Amino acid sequence: MSKYLIAGNWKMNTNADETRKLVSELSASASKNQEVEMLVCPPFINIPGASELLKDSFVSLGAQNCYFEEKGAFTGEISIPMLKAFNLEYIIIGHSERRAYFNESDDLIAKKLEAILNHNLKPILCIGETLEERNAGKTFEVLKNQLDIDLSKADLLKISDMVIAYEPVWAIGTGVSATNEQVAEAHKWIREYLENNYKTEAAKIKILYGGSLNHANAKEILAIPNVDGGLIGGASLKSESFLKIYNTAIELS
Ligand code: PEP
pLDDT at 189 exceeding the cut of 80:
yes
pTM above 0.75, yes or no: yes
Q: Residue 33's pLDDT is what?
A: 84
Q: Phi, psi at residue 164, to the nearest 5°?
A: -110, 135
Q: Residue 81's pLDDT is what?
A: 98
95 annotated active-site:
yes
CA-CA distances (angstroms) from residue 99 to 94, 105, 125, 128, 165?
A: 6, 7, 12, 11, 14
Q: pLDDT tens digits for 191-243?
A: 999 999 999 999 999 999 999 999 999 999 999 999 999 999 999 999 999 99
Q: Which amino acid is at 103?
A: N
Question: How far apart are the C-alpha atoms of 43 and 193, rounded to whole Å?
Answer: 32
Over residues 75-92, the mean pLDDT reads 98
What's the gap in Å between 157 CA and the centre of ligand 1?
Answer: 30
| Ligand 1 interacting residues, C-beta cut-off 6 A | 9, 167, 172-173, 210-213, 231-235
Q: What is the set of domains in the chain, with CATH numbers?
A: 4-252 (3.20.20.70)
Q: Residue 1's pLDDT is what?
A: 74
Atom of ligand 1 nearest to the CA of 174: 10
167 annotated active-site:
yes
Q: pLDDT tens digits for 115-170?
A: 999 999 999 999 999 999 999 999 999 999 999 999 999 999 999 999 999 999 99
What's the gap in Å between 173 CA and the centre of ligand 1?
Answer: 5
Q: pLDDT tens digits for 16-51?
A: 999 999 999 999 999 888 899 999 999 999 999 999
What confidence category does residue 2 fall into, taking pLDDT thresholds of 50, 70 and 90? confident
What's the gap in Å between 137 CA and the centre of ligand 1?
Answer: 23
Q: Residue 152's pLDDT is what?
A: 98
The full 3-state SS of 94-113, as one line of letters, equals CCHHHHHHCCCCHHHHHHHH
The answer to whether 25 and 239 have CB atoms below 8 angstroms apart is: yes
